[in-house]
Amino acid sequence: MTQPVLCAIDITETALTQRILLKASKLAKLEQTTLDVVTVLPDFGMSMVSDFFTKDHSDSVIAKAKDQLHQIVEDTLGSDQASTVRHLVVTGNAYEEILNVAKQANSSLIVIGAHKPDFTDFLLGPNAARVVRHSSCSVMVIR
């Protein structure tokens, strides 16, 4: 078996997420490899914001996100294929965590979505652009 395909999605962007999942699934099948799906949540335990949340808030949000991720994958790919997908919910900076997961899994490809850029994206750089610039494996960006 070859290295997995990593599909990075935002569980709040349903239409784009479905297109990304379908493309990543096709590529994983073509390469006869596994599909990993990751979504990144903000880190509610960071020192500057942790006082605003209860101690179990982060665990609760992660659990809810895992349920949503499983449901999105199952609704998009079907229950048979969803059962073979590795579902990952991580917290932190989106592009950094996507790159960390790809490195740990030794992914051969990252499939990620990109929104239509607005003015702030040209100044700050969107997560997809950062993943492309810093990834050690190939990256496919879905618009």
pLDDT tier at 47, thresholds 50, 70, 90 = low
Give the percent of the chain with pLDDT over 90.
Answer: 67
Q: Which residue has the higher pLDDT, 12 or 110?
A: 110
For the stretch 27-31, contacts whose Cβ atoms lie closer than 8 Å and that sit 24 or more positions apart, written own/partner, are: 27/109, 27/111, 27/140, 28/4, 31/2, 31/5, 31/108, 31/109
Dihedral sign from CA coordinates of 62, 44, 76, 99: negative
pLDDT of residue 120: 54
**Does the model's pTM come out above 0.75?**
yes
Rounded to whole angstroms, how far apart are CA atoms 87 and 70?
7
pLDDT tier at 55, thresholds 50, 70, 90 = low
Helices (H), the chain: 14-30, 57-77, 79-82, 94-105, 119-124, 127-134
One CATH from 3.40.950.10, 3.40.50.620, 3.30.70.2740, 3.40.50.2000 for 5-142: 3.40.50.620
pLDDT tier at 58, thresholds 50, 70, 90 = confident
